[in-house]
Amino acid sequence: MTVNTPVDVTAVRAIITDILELEDDELTGTSLFVDDHGADSLGAIEILSRIEKELGVVIPQDDLVRLTHLDAVLEVLATAERRQP
């Protein structure tokens, strides 16, 4: 079931900037992880994994290709399922 999940933008930004080794002001909503920040496919997988673990959500593997920039990550998270406790 898909639900409208509140998104902790600050936490998401912190995860992404940590993994991509960026300063906070280097990450914009539309800056591309690969083209603008030099991320590789493992970086995208790590972003997905950390977000799931730290925010307690489940993101389908099919959505991995959509995680190209911050705004896209936030869109995916808005419909992500909460993990069952």
The answer, yes or no, to whether residue 2 has pLDDT greater than 80, is no
Distance separating alpha carbons of residues 38 and 33, to the nearest angstrom: 6
Give residue-wise pLDDT tens across range 11-31: 999 999 999 999 999 999 999
Backbone angles phi, psi at 58, to 5 degrees: -120, 120
Strands 81-82 and 57-58: antiparallel
**Helix axis angle, 9-20 to 70-78, nearest 10°:** 140
Give residue-wise pLDDT tens across range 28-73: 999 999 999 999 988 888 999 999 999 999 988 888 889 999 999 9
**Nearest to residue 24, comparing CAs of 32, 15, 50, 44?**
15
